[in-house]
Amino acid sequence: MGHARQHAETRTRERRHRLAHEAARLMVESGIRDYHQAKLKAAARLGIHDDASLPRNREIEDALREHQRLFSGPQHLTGLQERRQAALRAMAFFSDFDPRLVGPVLEGTADAHAPVALHLHAEPAESVARFLDEHGIPAESRVRRLRLDRQRAADVDVWVFSAEGLSFDLTVLPPQCLRQAPLSAIDERPMRRASRSQLEHLLTMELGGSIAGSAME
């Protein structure tokens, strides 16, 4: 009985692994942004329909990172560094709003279509709209629903614009959200965020790694 259960668990793990990597491939090649959509499409392609075999979003994110490392290599790293440098400049520009970098550009999974996503903190939220207008930045207004914590959700202002050939996505949050980040749609835990100084440190570490790698070749 124990052997049969162990065999079933091993088979489920293998299926989760296959589904996670197929979902990651679909996200890279088809431009799918939604993890749930990607895993369902992967399950349909592989003919796997039991819920126990569906990978968690973090498993897909890990597979996505591995896929980009294996198949994109230096090209992916170059594009990622360009977006992080652009994020740093944007954070300096929006410094009055205590910006934080979030999303794929911070996590290292950004592809060629991923926007530079920043959290800005303002009260009232309209002050960001005025700032954009004062600096002549044409931006599209949107609304996004975020879970602030386990009990609360809110509709927040979002501004989207293009600069330096990249897309920027600004989510405007109340200042109290500086103390605790909204929950991630990936794993329902507080989003990982980086301040300007933290991003500078990350880029310095990356540059040091690149120089060391070049010296070894």
pLDDT of residue 100 exceeding 80, the answer is yes
pLDDT of residue 174: 95
**Higher per-residue pLDDT: 216 or 18:** 18
**Higher per-residue pLDDT: 133 or 149:** 133
DSSP label of 217? -
Asked whether 98 and 178 are in contact (CB, 8 A), the reply is: yes
pTM, to two decimals: 0.74
Longest distance between any two alpha carbons in the chain, whole Å:
71
Q: How far is CA 122 from CA 32, 34, 97, 149, 197, in A?
A: 31, 28, 6, 19, 20
The distance in angstroms from the start CA to the end CA of the chain is 54
Domains of the chain: 2-71 (no CATH), 74-216 (3.30.460)
For the stretch 174-193, pLDDT in tens is 999 999 999 998 888 999 99
Q: Percent of the chain beyond pLDDT 70?
A: 92
- Token pair of 171 as six digits: 């989510």
Kindly give the interhelix angle for 2-30 and 57-71, rounded to the nearest 10 degrees.
60
**If pLDDT is split at 50, 70 and 90, which confidence band does 212 have?**
very low
